């Protein structure tokens, strides 16, 4: 795991690798994502009705997101807007940008169980 990542991002990546059921209530949207953070192993997962299922990184996806870990941290903590980051080229999105926005809102809206103030 990249030493430059804060604890919250490391925790999120580990949760995505294992899959989890969120308490976040959504409208039943579904998307398959490929997330590439710097030199980390790509993460592929399906989101459906608040459940995230980890998938083999090799396979098709509806939306691919690529950025460096520092930008991912800024997206997570709200100091960077996804659309602005996309327009500036800080985040690459391939496929359905609406699914990228839904994933960003989904991850930001839920509690992932990281203690308040957790840093690395």
Is residue 1 in a domain? no
Is residue 86 in a domain? yes
Supply the range of the domain harboring residue 42.
Answer: 7-109
Is residue 115 in a domain? no
pTM value is 0.75
Residue 4 has pLDDT above 70, yes or no: no
Cα separation, 51 vs 55, in Å, equals: 13
pLDDT digits (tens, 9 = 90+) for 56-100: 889 999 999 999 988 888 887 778 888 899 999 999 999 999 999
Cα separation, 69 vs 52, in Å, equals: 20
Is residue 98 in a domain? yes
Cα separation, 31 vs 63, in Å, equals: 7
Is residue 117 in a domain? no
Total number of domains in the chain = 1
Give the CATH number of the domain where residue 37 resides.
3.30.1050.10
């Amino acid at each position: 795991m990249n030493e430059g990542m804060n604890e919250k991002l490391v925790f999120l990546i580990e949760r995505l690798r294992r899959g989890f059921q969120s308490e976040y209530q959504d409208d039943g949207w579904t998307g398959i994502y490929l997330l590439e953070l710097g030199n980390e192993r790509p993460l592929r997962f399906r989101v459906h009705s608040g459940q995230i299922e980890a998938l083999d990184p090799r396979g098709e996806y509806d939306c691919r997101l690529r950025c460096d870990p520092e930008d991912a941290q800024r997206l997570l903590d709200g100091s960077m807007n996804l659309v602005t980051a996309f327009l500036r080229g800080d985040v690459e999105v391939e496929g359905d940008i609406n699914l990228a926005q839904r994933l960003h809102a989904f991850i930001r809206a839920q509690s992932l169980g990281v203690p308040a103030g957790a840093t690395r």
